[in-house]
Structure 1
Amino acid sequence: MKPPRLAHLACLSIVFIASLLLAACHHDEPPPWQLADISGHMPDLSFQLTDDQGKAVSGADYRGKVTVLYFGYTHCPDVCPLTLAHLHVVMQRLGKLSDGVRILFVSVDPTRDTPAVLHDYVSAFDSHAVGLTGSPADIEALSKRYRAAFTREPGKTDGSYDVSHSSGIYIFDGNGKVRLLATPADSQDKLVHDLHLLLSPGDAT
């Protein structure tokens, strides 16, 4: 049975995604996307964090790349490793085009996820992945910016804990504009299709 907070986060995520899907339906012509088109419904990619090499970075450092943003943590027992493995297969299927993509894995557990820990974790999944961490205040501000949610849950032993978090996958174009929202349940075919469009100038507007 899900803990009450986790169930609440799951409900919030479903309501949020459903609202964006409804907003995305109001177009005169069918969009080319297979994922949820959230263009204009969220702010541009912007943050000030520390990457997994210990370097201060901002959203502007990833301009020119299609950016996949995901909130998670390295002690996550299920959805985070499954999502990163899912994205790794997508990168493989994109072939050389994947060089134009960066997967930004933002830790919602900055106490345990140091840059070194993040580096070992994300590099085990994919060379296009970058781990990002920062102060608790910075992480909370970024999660609120993109309407993501997370909360700490007590573990089974003293001092241990898990972090319940929403699992949206936010996709930004090379100009840092938000374009698409995916979930871990979306197929690799959909992700490959839409990333291919974003990586091919002129194919999508």
Structure 2
Amino acid sequence: MSAAAGWYADPSGTHGQLRWWDGAAWTEHVTAAPAPRSGNGLRTGIIIVAVVGAIVLALIGFIGVAAVRFGEFDTSGVTADTRTNVTVRTEAQIGDRLTATIPSDGAFQASFTVERPGTVTFDVRGEDGFDSMLEVIGPSGESLGQNDDREVDAPGGDVFDPYLALELAPGRYTVFVEGWVGEGGSFELRID
């Protein structure tokens, strides 16, 4: 071998071991090979920082969208009489099919009375892709249920149409329909 003296991979094939070459012959001196160094350390660090940064930004974006999307439904202290964005108000009865068009940032409100306890369903069907949100307020002003996208097992409608089925006691109730993130549009509300 014509290589200069130094530590080289052990020619005996022992993995992870170096043997000293004195410039003329292999010696009996061996040592553990150092752990391989990756030249990608800086690149790996940059990739990790970029991925973590992207996740943080995605979470911030998700929280922001959720706050905007569901902020309209923050009902703490809000009753049927204190909502300020209601543009369409009507009286309803169980069994009604109500149609309405609301402007951007507007809301639809229907008030109705339950005479006997039982399950009441609220089914909103948006027109021309209108994506709406639904909320039912109880006799004491409390939110009894909210929905913006129908569950897979809910009957009919589009996946973005809200649907609720609630057990209601006798009393006076209010249902609100609003557009997702303030969107305006037309819809049909079925109360059964």
Give the TM-score of the pair, scaled to structure 1. Answer: 0.25
Higher helix share: 1
Give the TM-score of the pair, scaled to structure 2. Answer: 0.26
Q: Which has the higher contact order (CA 8 A, sep 6+)?
A: 1
Higher Rg: 2
